[in-house]
Amino acid sequence: ELFVLVNNAAVQVLSDLENLELSDWNLTLNVNLTGPLLLSQYFLPKLEKSRGSIINIASIHQQLTKKRFISYATSKSALVGLTKSMSVDLQGRVRVNATSPAAIDTQMLRDGFDNDESKVQMLNVLHPIQRIGKPKEVSKLALLLAEDELGFINGANIQIDGGISNVLKDLD
């Protein structure tokens, strides 16, 4: 039996609008959005049989983003939209939720900083919790959302962001 599908694969190709290659845009949407759609379709019969859950790993970039993240932010925004749409479409059959992590200590994040540890340390202090997240924290949240005890949560997008989405930068 299959109880949960966690759609977590992602690519992050950075580019400004003027230099955005269509191939990079398509790659990002294919991996970050179309992949979860196709996997959800493929595993739907097994998930439906177990009354299971689909958990889509979106990103803080679905709500708050920065320069050069056009493809990535768009794909993660659309993934949250897909989550909501599927939760309605599959009502009573399979629950569908998303999480939107902020900075998580992954190789993708470190590659984005050219593996510069000083930049990672600076990123730590930007979060009110004073550190970036751990992959295990994201996986635990995904598994928690999949549990029957939280069966009333459906179509939600839960932030796991160390409080950074509450921060407003100012001159002080």
Q: Helix crossing, 70-89 with 35-50: angle to 10°? A: 30
- Amino acid in the structure at residue 12: Q
Taking CB atoms within 8 Å and a gap of at least 24, the contacts of 41-46 are 43/2, 43/5, 44/90, 44/94, 46/1, 46/2
DSSP E strands: which ranges in the chain? 4-7, 53-57, 95-101, 157-160
- Is 72 marked active-site? yes
Token pair for 171:
């001159």
Query: 86, 116, 64: which is closest to 5 by C-alpha?
Result: 86
Marked catalytic residue, from 44, 70, 72, 99: 72
Residues marked as catalytic: 72
